[in-house]
Chains A and B, each alone.
Chain A
């Protein structure tokens, strides 16, 4: 399955103003891709464009050889699930309810959950280890718990691709590791393709198959951890000046 996700001269941006130009990439099924780059470079916009939540400015995206813009909403939602930074606005929802919204593309006209839908929801909650939160009010749980519920929601959609925007930011170290291990497990078991933006370079280095580096208005490098994580290159990518790097060395803070 070469080129499960492909882009062709893709230009993305906001309000007609291009941020990143001429993106030509191919992503294989079952790859974990992380997007790194300085703040405001367009990581979120790239994810939103692949999720079809932002209109692209030029070029096109193909998933499984089908053009993204020509897919129906339902078809798209069975392929791609997202976990972005937007907060859920719904009120009076238990965590089960929130996870169950992931079944939306599969339910009938009135959106009533079937028995197998309920089972999927429960199994996914077990997988993400949040089954004990089932009946809790979604607004009254911690940020870390919320993020795991949102992951369960995304996985419950049974997608082939998951897009995540800085998913680990609010998680403590244990939950961070748990979160990542679930993604890797899903990659192994279901050939799930994961594309996510992260700020933690050490994580990106260890779990990605390939890393997409954004700088300026282009994709600067797209390669394996070995190809990307060279001290010189990372310093250049994030504009880490010599004096700052010297400070990091002095304090023994590793860049990645």
Chain B
């Protein structure tokens, strides 16, 4: 059985990597300007003939594609952590209102800084988003003391999300006209307008977070069974809970700061990955969820850009179409998985 399983893991990982490879190339190639693989290669090797195409590859398509890869993975990982934390397969940064909280604080920070005609740096935005994420996480945690049911938790999260969205709308409504366009696009979730500077910051923040999460895989494995079991195995449950909250909030914050709130990836990707790998081992699921989220987002972003080109769809429009059915499916299958 051990060997059979290892083989399954290897095949599944290979499939994920292959899919990501294919979509990385597709995301750069397909668009209003068609680009061939030859163009990419010559652009990367610095021997491009056509300056326009070179610029499109280097400054628009490539940073965006890399950003989608990183943020998509972060989104799935953040969802995975929240699902582990709440022992709830439909927990995620979006449904728990954490994304919306981050969005609210980023909008406030943006409008405030713009009114002083300062440009917000990536780090400032991440910090603002983190504050917002932590505030909403705090509310959610307060509520978990009173409610036990998985559906109620989600309902409360969605309500928190609506409150935060309302405040964001209010801020956007009263922001000066020039800022609105940007703010509006961003507040609905979009990967457009990524620069290499953005990519650098997110790569650093998210890879550090990823490593920290990966280092927690053994205690998370114990925590998965339930708190009493984790305690019985000598795990410091309180510390694990604090770390999980901080890391998942940081991941959500990073995504929101750059791409706005994106729905359902955080639930759908880890769930599909669990089915694919048929395991509950965090040491497998942490990297696999990351890759799964990346693949899912690359696919959705490709559709968002090209389906109704030149009009670009919000990324959440696409992720919801593919992600929401997964959530419904999980709820319908609730019986099978007992009360958890």
Contacts and interface: CB of A to CB of B under 8 A. Distances in A.
A54 B62 CA distance: 54
Interface residues of A, number: 37
Interface in B272-295: 274, 278-281, 283
A91 B337 contact: yes
Given A74-B234, A92-B274, A101 B1 contact: no
A107 B234 CA distance: 13
Contacts of B229: 86, 88, 101
A141 to B, nearest CB: 12
Contacts of A109: 218
B217 interface: yes
**Consensus secondary structure, chain A interface:** loop
B253 to A, nearest CB: 27
A112 B2 CA distance: 12
A82 B232 contact: yes
A81 B229 CA distance: 10
Nearest to B226: A89
B232 A110 contact: no
A89 B116 CA distance: 51
B173 interface: no
Contacts of B234: 72-77, 104-105
B233 A77 contact: yes
A82 B280 CA distance: 22
A109 B281 CA distance: 14
| Interface-centre pick from B231, B232, B233, B235 (highest chain A CB count, 10 A) | B232
Contact of A139 (B2, B233, B337): B337
A116 to B, nearest CB: 14
A96 B1 contact: yes
Contacts of B147: none
Interface residues of B, number: 30
A51 B280 contact: no
A129 to B, nearest CB: 19
B221 interface: yes
| Interface-centre pick from A81, A97, A104 (highest chain B CB count, 10 A) | A104
B331 interface: no
B38 interface: no
A76 B222 CA distance: 15
Nearest to B235: A73
Interface string B212-235: 000001100110111011011111
B236 interface: yes
A244 interface: no
B235 to A, nearest CB: 6
Contacts of A127: none
| Interface-centre pick from A73, A77, A107 (highest chain B CB count, 10 A) | A73
Contacts of B281: 97
B188 interface: no
Nearest to A93: B280
B46 interface: no
B87 interface: yes
A216 interface: no
A200 to B, nearest CB: 24
Contacts of A111: 217-218, 221, 283
A183 B280 CA distance: 30
Interface in A106-124: 107, 109-112, 118
A221 interface: no
A90 interface: yes
B340 A89 contact: yes
B310 interface: no
Contacts of A105: 233-234
Interface in B299-340: 336-340
Nearest to B279: A92
B226 A88 contact: yes
A90 B225 contact: yes
A92 B271 CA distance: 11
B233 A101 contact: yes
B283 A101 contact: no
18 contacts: A51-B232, A73-B234, A73-B236, A75-B234, A76-B234, A86-B226, A87-B226, A89-B225, A90-B225, A97-B280, A101-B221, A101-B229, A104-B218, A110-B283, A111-B218, A111-B221, A134-B1, A139-B336
Given A82-B232, A86-B228, A101-B221, 4 more contacts: A52-B231, A97-B281, A104-B218, A104-B234
Among all A-B residue pairs, the 7 with the closest Cβ atoms: A73-B234, A77-B234, A111-B218, A104-B233, A86-B228, A89-B226, A74-B234
